[in-house]
Structure 1
């Protein structure tokens, strides 16, 4: 077995769904599994949180890592730990499973544990007012500070409810965005080798195809030009970005020849493109810069958008 997956349990159905996803993935990826329940004492509920991990109101895309308070249930996390562990051991006897009941501020404890994990897995809460998923006051700051790739997993029943509420897309739009095994969003302006390495490795371990997408939404200036010139300019920019995407993907395709890869640059808002493309994917992979801005660590608008609206599990890969 390789390095372990770490799963944060908080007693919610979403965290149990995350643990089940992690156990099944750990079996296929030949990794061990560690289930962790963190109890926050009344005196330490906020004393050692990161400045931008404080609970507050939901923020705009690209803003600091803040979120609405999560639902109650944290106190029961340590109680469900042995039950969930027993269920997963019965379902996946080949996976080594250990458990830990810890105390402290949950976001800080999970962030520290990410330093020794291959993958950190958390559940993502139910639907919000605009039919998106909620990323709570623990998960959101962990996403902003995790040292290893982090996967947010939906409860499948919630995901089905979200899919039922979405407006049907025209047939030609759906056909343009098939549902492959793994989907990765890639920004050719800030290429991240860590993201491509993780996406290719995940696709290989599952024996699944990989689609790497670069979405681009033109600025308003293109609409102010005469139509023929605007159309030509759009094609030129999109062609340049497609060439950069191909250049970035080719070395990884050579390193992972067993992975069938399709790399495309598409004229569409990136978060919308990725959410639709990954509607039935095994995993949606996006990146998060590790540098800290003046106002704190930022997740980025595209990653923030897919975290809240994609129904597939979302892997956030930190990179410089």
Structure 2
């Protein structure tokens, strides 16, 4: 249909799809399936590696030798970028938003293990001046003879969008093999790129499927603007343009809980219950909240018995370890 930009093959693809038999039976509503993008790799596992395949190819082709990216202290994206950079011979700088003295654990420990240069930025300055901070670092590195490619939060921008456009094509092929049509694909929304790629992919490969996002931060209005921006940026790399209208954007708002990367006991109990029911770990930042939202919507009758729902497991397992002391186990 069109030529994709070049990509570096870094992820373990295709990822499997299987039915959550016990959860589906327990809820007595739609059939729930899982797309296991948590198994795209080990230290690069999760949804970000799909985006980075296209991003890093772009950086290589344009002659960069360094990458700069950003995120929270426990950013899955920064961790994946650090290891991809190491693999491909890039220097890596990660700009991290901090509130308190960082504890070197989980994703942050892995950033350091991969050799990334860490730049801690106070949360207010990070929120208000991120673009300026990234540009200043890029200019500083240029004076040192480095050519640095800036990757925004979550690799959610035009070239990164092709990761989940390609994933939609992959899902389409798996549907043909399994002789199944999904009524819905549900994904967490944290920076907007996974949802936008799937939505563009729906137009090309999954016309009968509705793409639904559950935002884990900000609100619907914020992500509608973000999705439109990423969508538009993608066409710089394509020879076709596909229209997007507000009615194409389906976001279930209201499941961000008490804040980004903050957890309630109800959410953590849900993660524990699902781990014991299905033998799968969902993280407390993205997938745990989004699946909690989906299950709540099923209980409210907004997804019907007999419908088929595919949930995208976007990874993030390392994010569970900083929360370990908050879990309350009865046994």
TM-score by length of 2: 0.28
